[in-house]
Structure 1
Amino acid sequence: MGNTINRRSFLGLAGVGGAIFASGLSGWATAETKPGVANDDFFFVQLSDSHWGFEGPPNPDARGTLQKAVAAVNGLESQPDFIMFTGDLTHTTDDPAERRKRLSEFKKIVADLKVKNTHFMPGEHDAALDYGKAFQEFFGETHYTFDHKGVHFIVLDNVSDPAGSIGDAQLAWLAADLAEQPADARIVVFTHRPLFDLYPQWDWATRDGAKAVALLMPHAHVTVFYGHIHQENHHMTGHIAHHSAKSLIFPLPAPGSQPKRTPLPWDSAYPYRGLGFREVEAQRQETQYKIVELPVRKV
């Protein structure tokens, strides 16, 4: 295999398991599609919840998992078009100086990625204690849009507000942006918290997420990717699909499956179980999700 690995096998390497999504992004082929111009097939990688700065149980390799993920992505035979980090880049701290130190260390580690087209958004661990001030010093705006090969990407910030809201100003910004998109536009939304009420008792919700979903609903082809819950989960609000990503630090229990939202214990017989990241492949002629689960491999 040499120094490169196939896209279909990279998630099982370095002790990090995950899921692969081959996705038409809900209506990839439309009348506006222009093959070879702006709507070519492409894929990107989503990583989430690295919690750099976390120490101790349950992950004895807390200072190594992020580097393993970087190495695995760099080892891909074909590099992704871009990489998206969906929040909680660092672990929370009350010390502003330590928060900046962790953000700086995280930025230095991911600078080793071969792919330089990399996008970041905060999680509540990065931003809730200072309304995203430190995050913005290192990574820029907490909400923004970009376009890639015929897909419109929207990054929403539902963490800088300690109450877990998007807020009226950002919702107005979202409405204005969507007003410029045709009804059949291919739209992908990135958030940290889920936009729907997955399990509000554990803070697995967005207080005004239903308003964002309502704004998105008139568009026929919308897919949402998020983090926060440290596990794979798939949910539909009408025709809008929501997919959560595993974390790079520790897995959390299924919603409501135990009294408290405490990390699942480390299994020395199956190290890195429950950790992972994902590839999302957009294909013009395919509108179904093909999911391949890969086992964790002990290094």
Structure 2
Amino acid sequence: MPDNPAPDRRDFLRLAAAAGGAVLASALPGWAAAPGKDFYFVQLSDLHWGFQGPPNPDARGTLPKAIAAVNALPAPPDFIVFTGDLTHTTDDPDERRKRMREVKAQIDALQVKTRYLMPGEHDASLDRGEAFQEFFGPTHYTFDHQGVHFIVLDNVSDPAGRVGAAQLDWLASDLARLPREAPIVVFTHRPLFDLYPQWDWATRDGAEVLQRLDPYSHVTVFYGHIHQEHHHRTGHIAHHAARSLMFPLPPPASQPLRQPVAWDAGHPYRGLGWRQVMTRQAPLRLALEERPVAA
């Protein structure tokens, strides 16, 4: 736990107003288990370290700007999660490792040392996560914090975009030990539902993942991949996509091709950002604050 307390609800809303960010409440009502303390965490996604191109003329600057902003928060988050695509894809295994080494050095500048990372397809699909595991450890795992069970899923190491039978069995075994009312937060890279499969915005066996999660009353999913804020529900399960730190992508089906949104010199860093998630206990409520990348 950090030495400074997490901001209370009023402080959190004041932070959002000061930053010009939007706050969205995501409820997990009726939780009866013994709660822990209030806390908050930060989500960063789609860093694409190594990318170069006109959609972001400050390609090596946006991640350091986000890290500086997180370090400057008035109260440190309990942990930071990175929901994939830490690096931009490359066919060269040596260059892939060079980019991972560089992004790891950037991440090490964070003052909060409790971090959870997972790969995106740019990190893992060409070598089934081999290089990612060398630098960052397992591609799927669980952890618990203040009474909340967190599950990190890997739906990118398989080049076909599947979670896969072995990981589905692992998930089922993990869930089997939890009461049905347990608060569960899932982190993954691709959406688990069919947002827009034509643009690879889906998981081939995502329906099987959701089928295993469905019996649990209080589930929230945070993901990346689509480079924009997006909120969706599959039954009682809430899904929240995060913005990218490299370039935004257009809304699903809004144009024929999935092309990055052009850089707007008049409004630099538009569409880029990161997220704070404030967790209020008893009953559990999640308040999402979207934070922009500041010039």
Q: Is contact 1:158-1:164 (8 Å) kept?
A: yes
SS in 1 for 2:273: coil
The whole-number CA distance in structure 2 between the counterparts of 1:12 and 1:62 is 26
Q: Between Structure 1 and Structure 2, how many residues are aligned?
A: 285
TM-score normalised by the chain length of structure 1:
0.90
1:188 match = 185
Q: Is 1:261 aligned to 2:262, yes or no?
A: no
**What letter is aligned with 1:120?**
L
Of 200, 210, 214, the residue aligned with 2:207 is 210
**What letter is aligned with 1:132?**
G
- Cα shift readout 1:199-238 (whole Å, capped 9, x = no counterpart): 0000000000000000000000000000000001111111
2:146 match = 149
Taking a change above 3 Å as real, the CA distance of residues 55 and 85 of structure 1, as seen in their structure-2 partners, is: same
Q: Is 1:283 aligned to 2:284, yes or no?
A: no
**What letter is aligned with 1:30?**
W
Of 99, 105, 108, the residue aligned with 1:108 is 105
Q: Is 1:274 aligned to 2:275, yes or no?
A: no
Q: Is contact 1:157-1:192 (8 Å) kept?
A: yes
SS in 1 for 2:52: coil
SS in 2 for 1:258: coil
Q: CA deviation at 1:284?
A: 1.1
**What letter is aligned with 1:124?**
E
Q: Is contact 1:59-1:249 (8 Å) kept?
A: yes
- The gaps in structure 2 that reach 5 residues or longer are 1-6
- Cα shift readout 1:150-170 (whole Å, capped 9, x = no counterpart): 000000000000000000000
Q: Is contact 2:62-2:293 (8 Å) kept?
A: no
- Cα shift readout 1:172-216 (whole Å, capped 9, x = no counterpart): 000000001110000000010000000000000000000000000
TM-score normalised by the chain length of structure 2:
0.91
Taking a change above 3 Å as real, the CA distance of residues 295 and 46 of structure 1, as seen in their structure-2 partners, is: closer
Q: Is 1:95 aligned to 2:92, yes or no?
A: yes
Taking a change above 3 Å as real, the CA distance of residues 114 and 294 of structure 1, as seen in their structure-2 partners, is: closer
Q: CA deviation at 1:117?
A: 0.2
- Cα shift readout 1:130-150 (whole Å, capped 9, x = no counterpart): 000000000110000000000
Q: Is contact 1:18-1:246 (8 Å) kept?
A: no
- The gaps in structure 1 that reach 5 residues or longer are none
**What letter is aligned with 1:205?**
A
**What letter is aligned with 2:280?**
Q
SS in 2 for 1:277: strand
The whole-number CA distance in structure 1 between the counterparts of 2:38 and 2:108 is 26
Q: CA deviation at 1:30?
A: 3.0
What does residue range 202-241 of structure 1 map to in structure 2 within 5 Å? 202-241=199-238
1:77 match = 74
Q: Is contact 1:49-1:228 (8 Å) kept?
A: yes
The whole-number CA distance in structure 2 between the counterparts of 1:192 and 1:293 is 18
Relative contact order higher in (CA < 8 Å, ≥ 6 apart): 1
Taking a change above 3 Å as real, the CA distance of residues 83 and 289 of structure 1, as seen in their structure-2 partners, is: closer
Taking a change above 3 Å as real, the CA distance of residues 136 and 162 of structure 1, as seen in their structure-2 partners, is: same
1:178 match = 175
The whole-number CA distance in structure 2 between the counterparts of 1:172 and 1:235 is 26
Taking a change above 3 Å as real, the CA distance of residues 189 and 266 of structure 1, as seen in their structure-2 partners, is: same
What does residue range 156-175 of structure 1 map to in structure 2 within 5 Å? 156-175=153-172
The whole-number CA distance in structure 1 between the counterparts of 2:79 and 2:288 is 20
Of 246, 255, 264, the residue aligned with 1:249 is 246
Identical residues among aligned pairs (%): 66
- Cα shift readout 1:57-81 (whole Å, capped 9, x = no counterpart): 1101000000001000000010000
The whole-number CA distance in structure 1 between the counterparts of 2:269 and 2:122 is 22
The whole-number CA distance in structure 1 between the counterparts of 2:53 and 2:202 is 27
Q: Is contact 1:235-1:243 (8 Å) kept?
A: yes
Q: CA deviation at 1:285?
A: 3.9
SS in 2 for 1:177: helix
1:49 match = 46
Q: Is contact 1:247-1:277 (8 Å) kept?
A: yes
The whole-number CA distance in structure 2 between the counterparts of 1:177 and 1:83 is 23
SS in 2 for 1:71: helix
